[in-house]
A and B are shown apart, each in its own frame.
Chain A
């Protein structure tokens, strides 16, 4: 067996990131001070350089190295830059929240960096081995991040559920990979694609594909593999929730594109019915259950499941336009989710969590700018024209109709209309409801449908008190609020001028 020295320069973004992580780790060990400014700014700089490296060294290159385990193509370059920038956005929100709760330690940033490295590896995965390596690197960091607030019972419970279910999903994915390896006799996705494209593909491939789909659907949070989503979104510290709902979702789509399009794309006809079931269940379950939520984080979790349904629908179309629509959708969702959870972070101060929808009563009178951001984010998630959410849904539906999935497209529209109810309800609370002022010296009034839903599902124990009279005081500093406003404005600007991002998504997936 001959040994060939791999071309290291192709993997420059990952190599840079790993080296930089080691430096950040050591610097963080020796830096004093509780604000972790050095770690924070170093982390952000490292991520920005990673994004720049991905664009400069990998854009326009199509090659493989490390014996085919590592793929460089425009899709990888674009995914890496997007992932790194989304992580920058997500981490920018973290500091005030964590500092107010005594959780601000360098490890948050290190774990986020390791998770980012895992996601970059997924984006460039050319074999089952690399993809699994990246996925585990991402998942293990996320488990630790969810459990980060270790004195919080909710966070511990969420992390436990996430870890057990995540390990199970990884196991199932790995089982599917072993089947595919058995069927194709290779770990390399290019070889697997050849085996899958043969006249009679081995049954093992189909078998393995179903199992791998379960693993990918779990990471994407698509129903019926969504059980972890609500608890983790609600239980994790809000900055961690924000992080989980942005870049790792993009990584999950990347995982799908690599594993089930690059690898097993020729078997799409068999895969499509399964994807359609996933999409239908996610759309209905996500939107219908979100209606009943009183906790905003939990509601956004169910809304995330519904969005996952749209993404799966786009992937089910199986065309290049569909893949591009999924990519665009997940990036749009990342920006919207970052804004929504960022708003919760901004409105939470030490001691209060702005997570009950009832807490937002009268937000418009007290903080009109923040209410405006909430308005933008909610109508964007609904999919009203003029916002990025509209184009995301539009592209998905267009791809679905072009692939003759008209019934599914109709279902998706109906689900989106159902979804409009709970998004608009948040706006109604923020704009038209009077804030309740708790009577002096008596117990705080409890909202009419307070806290019963979460427990009814056997979910996380409810929060200590019904804080339905809490007057929200923004705890975040001015730069973070400004960032939130920029984030909200981005939803609008990208909604008015989406062409470049859409064209980019289409060009990297070969759908000109």
Chain B
């Protein structure tokens, strides 16, 4: 009965090792040259702690939105690639349509200058 759960145990162990090993390896092997910037908590694009009423760069959101868009596209492409054999030509056409719509959106962003930082 209990041995049925062996895969679960293995999975937990592998998960722990997989998560902990890089951290430990980095801790043991990595060179240590501390710097206030490096030791600050990680937060993308902003200071982690500051006044909430501040100016922020709206361009950051444009880039972030674009990133999320294409990031999700990748997430969508993976399962599609796995079953591509089964869904055949229809699947390719459907994905072509989806990516085509995204390309039109990208073209729009590009032409409107949303990709220019300065």
Binding site for B on A (CB under 8 A): 3, 5, 22, 25-26, 29-30
Contact = CB atoms under 8 A, between A and B. Distances in A.
Contacts of B108: 25-26, 29
9 A-B pairs with least C-beta separation: A29-B111, A22-B104, A5-B90, A25-B108, A25-B104, A29-B108, A26-B104, A26-B107, A3-B87
A29 to B, nearest CB: 4
Interface in B41-95: 87, 90
A233 B107 CA distance: 34
Contacts of B111: 29-30
A22 B87 CA distance: 26
B85 to A, nearest CB: 13
B115 to A, nearest CB: 14
Contacts of A26: 104, 107-108
B99 interface: no
Contacts of A30: 111
14 contacts: A3-B87, A5-B90, A22-B101, A22-B104, A25-B104, A25-B108, A26-B104, A26-B107, A26-B108, A29-B107, A29-B108, A29-B111, A29-B112, A30-B111
Nearest to A30: B111
Contacts of B104: 22, 25-26
A3 B80 CA distance: 15
Contacts of A29: 107-108, 111-112
Given A25-B108, A29-B111, A30-B111, 11 more contacts: A3-B87, A5-B90, A22-B101, A22-B104, A25-B104, A26-B104, A26-B107, A26-B108, A29-B107, A29-B108, A29-B112
B33 to A, nearest CB: 47
A1 to B, nearest CB: 11
A8 to B, nearest CB: 10
A22 B106 CA distance: 12
A3 B108 CA distance: 34
Interface string B96-118: 00000100100110011000000
B97 to A, nearest CB: 10
A198 to B, nearest CB: 36
Nearest to A18: B101
Nearest to A23: B104
Nearest to B90: A5
B105 to A, nearest CB: 9
Nearest to B112: A29
A195 B108 CA distance: 46
A22 B107 CA distance: 11
Contacts of B90: 5
A26 B107 CA distance: 8
A30 B108 CA distance: 10
Contacts of B107: 26, 29
Contacts of A22: 101, 104
A360 B47 CA distance: 55
Contacts of B112: 29
B110 to A, nearest CB: 9
A3 B90 CA distance: 11
B93 to A, nearest CB: 10
Contacts of B87: 3
Contacts of A3: 87
A22 B98 CA distance: 12
A22 B112 CA distance: 15
Nearest to A3: B87
Interface string B6-31: 00000000000000000000000000
Contacts of A5: 90
Nearest to B86: A3
A332 to B, nearest CB: 37
Residue with the greatest number of chain A CB neighbours at <10 A, chosen from B90, B107, B108, B112? B108
B78 to A, nearest CB: 19
A29 B112 CA distance: 8
Nearest to B110: A29
B100 to A, nearest CB: 8
A76 B87 CA distance: 31
B95 to A, nearest CB: 15
A3 B86 CA distance: 10
A245 B104 CA distance: 30
A30 B104 CA distance: 13
Nearest to A22: B104
Contacts of A25: 104, 108
Nearest to B105: A25
Nearest to B111: A29
A56 B62 CA distance: 42
B55 to A, nearest CB: 17
A308 to B, nearest CB: 35
A135 to B, nearest CB: 20
A14 to B, nearest CB: 13
Nearest to B87: A3
A163 B93 CA distance: 35
A7 to B, nearest CB: 13
A3 B112 CA distance: 40
A25 B90 CA distance: 26
A106 to B, nearest CB: 10
B47 to A, nearest CB: 26
A26 B106 CA distance: 11
A3 B101 CA distance: 24
A5 B91 CA distance: 10
A30 B87 CA distance: 37
Nearest to A21: B104
